[in-house]
Amino acid sequence: MRPEYDLAALGPGVRGKYAGRLKDTVLVALRPEIAEAFPTSDAVNEALRVVMKAGAAMRRPTPVRKRSSAAKRS
């Protein structure tokens, strides 16, 4: 720091002063080409919601297995 700064005038530091603002935030690093295509967090979230919906639509229910003949006799 420069000698002309008066550290006493700054007062005591407060640890985690702004941490509450990020309590429901998950930070991820995007590659530059992805960040260019999705410049805001809202754009990223909307794209991911579309992918999630498409994935849910593509899933098929698990087929019901027929019981074996040995299980039927029991």
Contact 66, 57 (CB under 8 A): no
- Whether the predicted model's global pTM rises above the 0.75 cut: no
> Tens of pLDDT along the chain (74 residues)?
788 888 888 888 899 999 898 888 888 999 999 999 999 999 999 999 999 999 888 876 666 777 766 666 65
In a domain, 43, yes or no: yes
Domain span including residue 51: 31-55
Both tokens assigned to 46: 């909307």
Cα gap 74→2, rounded to integer Å: 86
Contact 18, 10 (CB under 8 A): no
With H, G, I as helix, E, B as strand and everything else as coil, classify residue 57.
helix
In a domain, 38, yes or no: yes
Cα gap 51→34, rounded to integer Å: 15
Both tokens assigned to 7: 């550290």
In a domain, 68, yes or no: no
